[in-house]
Amino acid sequence: MKKILASLLIIATVGCSQAKNSDKNIEINIVNADSAAMEQAYKQQVDNKYVTKEESEPQPDIENLPPFKLLTVDNKVVTQSDLKKNKSVLIIYFSPDCSHCTKFMHDLEPEFKNLKDVQIVMATWIRVEALKPFCDTFKLQKYPNFIVGTEGNYTYLLQQYFRVKETPYIAVYNHAGKLVKAYPKAPTVAELMSSIRKA
C-alpha cells in the first residue's frame, strides 16, 4: 500500500511540474504572440505614415532636386534653399539603427575626403536625439558638407517625394539640380562614386 501511495505521489508531482512548465510555455507563447502582434501593428503604422502611394503606381517623377525641411542635430532648421548653388547634391534617406545604412556608411567613409565638393543631405524620420550617436560614430561634425537631420517634426517631404520603402535610399543630383541616378537600395561605393563623378 505504501508503494502505491508513493507511486501516486510521484505521478502527481511530475504531473504538477509538467502543468507548471506547460503554463510557462503558454505564457511565453502569449508574450511572443503579443510582441509579434505589436511589431506588426507598428510596422503597419509606419507603412501607413511613411508610404502614402499605392505599390502598383509608377515611380515618382524625381528628376528635380526636391524640397525638404530638416531639423539638424544642432537644432537648426535647414531647407533646400540653404544649399549652395551650382554644387552637386547627394541625398541619403536613412535610419540610424538600420544595419544596411550603417554598413553603407562604413563602406563610404574612406571616400568622405573625396566628397568635400558634394553637398550631402542625410535625412531620416527618426527623432533628432537618435542622430547624435550616429553622427559621432562617423565623425560627421568634421565635414561641413554633411547636413544630417530629421524631417520627423515636419511633413516627410523627402520620404513622400521618393516614396521611400527601404533604407538607405540614395539619390544623386547634378549642379543644376537634375537627377543623375537614384538607388532604392544601397549601391556599391564604386557605383555611387561613378554617379557622383557624372554630377
Instruction: Tell me: pLDDT of 181 over 70.
Output: yes
* Average of per-residue pLDDT across 140-163: 93
pLDDT, position 110:
98
- Cell output for 15: 504531473
Mean pLDDT of the chain: 80
Q: Are the beta carbons of 196 and 92 closer than 8 angstroms? A: no
CATH class for the domain made up of 69-198: alpha beta
> Which pLDDT score, from 0 to 100, does residue 60 have?
66
CA–CA separation, 119 and 63 (whole Å): 17
Nearest to 129 by CA among 149, 147, 103: 149
- Domain spans, the chain: 1-50, 69-198
- Residue 119: the pLDDT is 98
Whole-structure pTM over 0.75, yes or no?
A: no
Q: Residue 54: what pLDDT?
A: 41
Confidence of residue 59 (pLDDT cuts 50, 70, 90): low
Rg of the chain on CA atoms, in Å: 26
pLDDT at residue 8, rounded to an integer: 41
